[in-house]
Chain A
């Protein structure tokens, strides 16, 4: 089989997988109950409930409802979000942008601090800086995000008045277009420096809160890895050659110590995305996590189904790309298939 045939076959299977996924998503959600509740108010009569059912097509047989929903997902009508009081499709990009921006910022904080502190501690094994970084990493791993976030708010928002809450100063961003949904990027694209600074300033506390746990893990990983690397014979050889300790560390030890750390960093991104739920609630960050938490708690099925469908399709696509990449890299994958 040629690689082209393999790719074509995978592409042909993809729609079947997506349809199967949509059936599972629809069925599982409906097992949890009717989606009508989120659209009702407390004093509605049966006739009024029937009107609402008709408006959202919930008076139709389930197969028809499924086809309507699945068709809407293709054409861009993802339903009405009762939580956001807007079409899901309209709200989704903004929320996704907010969450990605937060997760990436937290990732940057975690990687920069984690590698820096891990290197600093690991290169000073059993000395005060090393102990401090170990205390830092243990506390980061042990401290609940919600508690740490509230603590930062009390100190830096309420006490010192240094940091703001929310995503931005609305006045600054009122006139700025949001082509990417990432406020920092949008501000730069608009050439508005003060808006960019404001966006970064708003990002700081939630990013630190979200990144703290991951920072601790990366710090610990980096430190351990560096300590192990520094005891390798080739490091002794480098020292024996008369290289300065800084060069030994930078050129020989740190580079090799980074290999297992980078693996951990990759795995941590999922952890960061999970953590956004709590951080977004505490810091009033209008992202996907807070929206989904609200949707789940209030039974907003249109929002939940759109989100699950989106992530499922994204996963299928990523999986396809990975498989195709493997096929190009290793012919046995194609032959085996």
Chain B
């Protein structure tokens, strides 16, 4: 009898324990944190928004749940970033890298993009130079910036035009390969500071995009001469370790501390020349997206860097708003390499060196790609196709420009005309593992292999360092690769970088081997860059977009919409994709 009672107790004990485990699993929305559930939900909810190529005109709050709880960290704004910066020095920071976030808060530039959009507003310069105010010379070669009086850096040193000249000359002298120093060097022939309030720049040739695409860059941020000279000064070709880890600027936030792997701390700059920030700032390093989602749900983070693929995890969370803004300026593209060394590509590849010379094949690849699957799946519906090479939001973009959509019949016809339909081919695509780029490569694989069993695509998903090394090779030993574009504010930068046969990628990929009219394309890109009339420029870019559609050098898988989750208590929330990622200026925010 005793034995029987013990068995009964044992049964109930086990049942109770199991019930507790099950209750713990089902009662706390665990399933919301898995990636699988999010894609479906987010995709369904956003199909209507992104089914067309329209960019949202303004930032819109798609979900708003009022928060009943008290504000967490009332004196500090807490942002959860997805990665650790590599350098905080404007002279060393890489475009699109986490350090730009810090530089945007700690440093000023001469002019800035306004919170509302692409309009420029004064920064350390009192006015934005223009033809009307006479601060741009008639020949378009000289820009004069009148520098504000009474500006001090975070150490209390006065900052004037000599510091501005010092800052730009410093970048040019250091000329670090990681940075955008080359952009300054390409454009500038001389800098002068004739008096403490006047800074004059002379360009090599007129450049309509100078203010938008050079002066606003992180690399053009203003540092204090005293601060740099007291901490290592300028050494050509060598990074300054002090500035890379302890930046001193004039911006609304004073850098305090960088705890590696944990966070970066900032305080309000009480002596800021403009409107001071409302709150101190803490940027938490949180690489795991699930933890970022949990953190904003818990109320510990005020904003989190949000990938469209996990929006579904946040939607409906109490006290959390999902802000859907403009398109990012970093389209995800798949490259055609027309210059690969045949003996160095992966052994399985069967394509010949001139395979991508034929525009029919490049068009066929573009028609075969399943854009809808990528945008609605990987991007969770927060994205759209993009014309060549004018992302939504830059000058020249229009909804009327031609964009590719999947047309399998057309793809088959073009592959047949090109003579590769029957014999097929094998090609490898290299991509960084575990992110949207790998998914884009897999979508290409599915698209082509589903179209014709004789087509084979090998996706080589590799570590970031391995990808970067391959990506920087010339000649590049892969016929195809996937990455996103660097963000630029002006169309010339995109077209020169990614379409010009004489531009960076044009040379590495041998675009002249494939373009039907390479000289015409190069001339049009160069011509548009020096025209100051926006309408005239726009017309050239739109004509170019149509030409490049017929002669595509990339597959543009899609362009992401800027999405950001923030707590309801964040006041004055605004994001501008023209600011470096995550496109936020924290000094504009308050909590309450």
Q: Is B316 an interface residue (CB 8 A)?
A: no
Q: Is A2 an interface residue (CB 8 A)?
A: no
Assuming the contacts A41-B97, A174-B265, A286-B260, asked whether A300 and B465 have C-beta atoms less than 8 A apart, the reply is yes
Of the 9-residue stretches B10-18, B56-64, B400-408, B572-580, which lies at the interface with chain A? B10-18
Interface centre among A43, A83, A294 (most CB of B within 10 A): A43
Interface centre among B86, B284, B467 (most CB of A within 10 A): B86
Residues of A within 8 A of B295 (CB): 165
- Whether the Cβ atoms of A166 and B284 lie closer than 8 Å is yes
Q: Is A264 an interface residue (CB 8 A)?
A: no
- Whether the Cβ atoms of B291 and A85 lie closer than 8 Å is no
- Whether the Cβ atoms of B84 and A37 lie closer than 8 Å is no
Which residue from A47, A91, A154 sits with its C-beta under 8 Å from B28? A154
Residue of B nearest to A290 (CB): B261
- Kindly identify, within residues 54 to 83 of chain B, every residue whose CB is under 8 Å from any CB belonging to chain A: none
> What are the interface flags for B158-178 relative to A under an 8 Å C-beta threshold, 1 for contact and 0 otherwise?
000000000000000000011
Interface centre among B97, B257, B286, B300 (most CB of A within 10 A): B300
Assuming the contacts A38-B465, A46-B472, asked whether A159 and B28 have C-beta atoms less than 8 A apart, the reply is yes
- State the CA gap A336–B161 with chains docked (Å): 79
Q: Is A6 an interface residue (CB 8 A)?
A: no
Q: Is A155 an interface residue (CB 8 A)?
A: yes
- Whether the Cβ atoms of A41 and B468 lie closer than 8 Å is yes
- State the CA gap A86–B241 with chains docked (Å): 9
Of the 9-residue stretches A14-22, A125-133, A229-237, A324-332, which lies at the interface with chain B? A125-133
Q: Is B137 an interface residue (CB 8 A)?
A: no
Which residue from A33, A151, A158, A167 sits with its C-beta under 8 Å from B466? A33
- Whether the Cβ atoms of B13 and A132 lie closer than 8 Å is yes
- Whether the Cβ atoms of B298 and A33 lie closer than 8 Å is no
Tell me the minimal C-beta distance from A296 to chain B in angstroms.
Answer: 8
- Kindly identify, within residues 238 to 280 of chain B, every residue whose CB is under 8 Å from any CB belonging to chain A: 238, 244-245, 256-257, 259-263, 265
- Whether the Cβ atoms of B24 and A282 lie closer than 8 Å is no
Which residue from B263, B297, B300, B463 sits with its C-beta under 8 Å from A170? B263
Q: Is A247 an interface residue (CB 8 A)?
A: no
Tell me the minimal C-beta distance from B100 to chain A in angstroms.
Answer: 12
Q: Is B294 an interface residue (CB 8 A)?
A: yes
Q: Is B29 an interface residue (CB 8 A)?
A: yes
Residue of B nearest to A295 (CB): B465
Q: Is B512 an interface residue (CB 8 A)?
A: no
Assuming the contacts A94-B260, A166-B284, A290-B261, asked whether A153 and B291 have C-beta atoms less than 8 A apart, the reply is yes
Residues of B within 8 A of A153 (CB): 291, 294
- Whether the Cβ atoms of A86 and B17 lie closer than 8 Å is no
Residues of B within 8 A of A246 (CB): none
Residue of B nearest to A174 (CB): B257
- Whether the Cβ atoms of B474 and A298 lie closer than 8 Å is no
> What are the interface flags for B31-71 relative to A under an 8 Å C-beta threshold, 1 for contact and 0 otherwise?
00100000000000000000000000000000000000000
Assuming the contacts A131-B13, A298-B465, asked whether A165 and B178 have C-beta atoms less than 8 A apart, the reply is no
- Whether the Cβ atoms of B468 and A37 lie closer than 8 Å is yes
Q: Is B486 an interface residue (CB 8 A)?
A: yes
- Whether the Cβ atoms of A55 and B238 lie closer than 8 Å is yes
> What are the interface flags for B97-113 relative to A under an 8 Å C-beta threshold, 1 for contact and 0 otherwise?
10000000000000000
Which residue from A135, A166, A299 sits with its C-beta under 8 Å from B464? A299
Which residue from B30, B256, B465, B469 sits with its C-beta under 8 Å from A154? B30
- State the CA gap A305–B96 with chains docked (Å): 29
- Whether the Cβ atoms of A85 and B85 lie closer than 8 Å is yes
Q: How many A-B residue pairs have CB under 8 A?
A: 166
- Whether the Cβ atoms of B300 and A165 lie closer than 8 Å is yes
Which residue from B24, B245, B259, B486 sits with its C-beta under 8 Å from A42? B486
Which residue from A38, A49, A128, A291 sits with its C-beta under 8 Å from B472? A49
- Kindly identify, within residues 143 to 161 of chain A, every residue whose CB is under 8 Å from any CB belonging to chain B: 150-151, 153-155, 157-159, 161
- State the CA gap A83–B464 with chains docked (Å): 11
- State the CA gap A291–B391 with chains docked (Å): 36
Tell me the minimal C-beta distance from B558 to chain A in angstroms.
Answer: 18
- Whether the Cβ atoms of A85 and B468 lie closer than 8 Å is no
Q: Is the interface of B mostly helix, strand, loop or mixed?
A: mixed
Which residue from A42, A158, A291 sits with its C-beta under 8 Å from B261? A291
Q: Is A206 an interface residue (CB 8 A)?
A: no
Q: Is A284 an interface residue (CB 8 A)?
A: yes
Q: Is A308 an interface residue (CB 8 A)?
A: no
Q: Is A139 an interface residue (CB 8 A)?
A: yes
- Whether the Cβ atoms of A165 and B466 lie closer than 8 Å is no
Residues of B within 8 A of A300 (CB): 465
Tell me the minimal C-beta distance from B175 to chain A in angstroms.
Answer: 9
Residues of B within 8 A of A44 (CB): 177-178, 472
Which residue from A34, A155, A170 sits with its C-beta under 8 Å from B469? A34
- Whether the Cβ atoms of B30 and A151 lie closer than 8 Å is yes
Which residue from B87, B177, B294 sits with its C-beta under 8 Å from A48? B177
Q: Is A25 an interface residue (CB 8 A)?
A: no
Q: Is A64 an interface residue (CB 8 A)?
A: no
Tell me the minimal C-beta distance from A212 to chain B in angstroms.
Answer: 13
- Whether the Cβ atoms of B299 and A170 lie closer than 8 Å is no
> What are the interface flags for A170-198 relative to B under an 8 Å C-beta threshold, 1 for contact and 0 otherwise?
10001000000000000000000000000
Q: Is B25 an interface residue (CB 8 A)?
A: yes
> What are the interface flags for B466-484 relative to A under an 8 Å C-beta threshold, 1 for contact and 0 otherwise?
1111011110000000010
- State the CA gap A281–B292 with chains docked (Å): 12
- State the CA gap A266–B276 with chains docked (Å): 56
Q: Is A45 an interface residue (CB 8 A)?
A: yes
- Whether the Cβ atoms of B177 and A51 lie closer than 8 Å is yes
- Whether the Cβ atoms of A164 and B85 lie closer than 8 Å is no
- Whether the Cβ atoms of B463 and A85 lie closer than 8 Å is no
Tell me the minimal C-beta distance from A171 to chain B in angstroms.
Answer: 8
Assuming the contacts A131-B9, A132-B13, asked whether A286 and B30 have C-beta atoms less than 8 A apart, the reply is no
Tell me the minimal C-beta distance from A242 to chain B in angstroms.
Answer: 25
Q: Is A297 an interface residue (CB 8 A)?
A: yes
- State the CA gap A284–B282 with chains docked (Å): 15
- Whether the Cβ atoms of B257 and A46 lie closer than 8 Å is no
Q: Is B536 an interface residue (CB 8 A)?
A: no
Tell me the minimal C-beta distance from B319 to chain A in angstroms.
Answer: 11
> What are the interface flags for B1-29 relative to A under an 8 Å C-beta threshold, 1 for contact and 0 otherwise?
00000100110011001000100110011
Q: Is B452 an interface residue (CB 8 A)?
A: no
Q: Is A95 an interface residue (CB 8 A)?
A: yes
Residue of B nearest to A136 (CB): B17
Q: Is A24 an interface residue (CB 8 A)?
A: no
- Whether the Cβ atoms of B463 and A297 lie closer than 8 Å is yes
- Kindly identify, within residues 246 to 284 of chain A, every residue whose CB is under 8 Å from any CB belonging to chain B: 281-282, 284
Assuming the contacts A34-B469, A40-B469, A43-B95, asked whether A284 and B87 have C-beta atoms less than 8 A apart, the reply is no
Interface centre among B87, B257, B259, B465 (most CB of A within 10 A): B465
- Whether the Cβ atoms of A46 and B260 lie closer than 8 Å is no
Q: Is B130 an interface residue (CB 8 A)?
A: no
- State the CA gap A174–B264 with chains docked (Å): 11
- State the CA gap A37–B462 with chains docked (Å): 12
Sample of 17 further A-B pairs with CB below 8 A, known A40-B465, A41-B95, A41-B97:
A36-B469, A37-B464, A37-B466, A42-B486, A43-B504, A44-B177, A44-B472, A45-B474, A84-B84, A85-B245, A131-B9, A131-B10, A135-B13, A151-B30, A164-B300, A170-B263, A299-B463
Pairs across A and B, CB under 8 Å, 29 listed:
A33-B469, A34-B469, A36-B465, A37-B464, A38-B465, A40-B472, A41-B97, A44-B178, A82-B465, A84-B260, A85-B84, A85-B86, A126-B6, A128-B13, A131-B13, A136-B17, A139-B21, A150-B290, A151-B30, A154-B30, A157-B298, A157-B300, A161-B298, A165-B298, A170-B257, A286-B259, A294-B287, A297-B464, A298-B464
Interface residue ranges, B against A (CB under 8 Å) = 6, 9-10, 13-14, 17, 21, 24-25, 28-30, 33, 84-87, 94-97, 177-178, 237-238, 244-245, 256-257, 259-263, 265, 282, 284-288, 290-291, 294-295, 297-300, 463-469, 471-474, 483, 486, 497, 504
Interface residue ranges, A against B (CB under 8 Å) = 33-38, 40-49, 51-52, 55, 82-86, 91, 94-95, 126-128, 131-132, 135-136, 139, 150-151, 153-155, 157-159, 161, 164-167, 170, 174, 281-282, 284, 286, 290-291, 294, 297-300
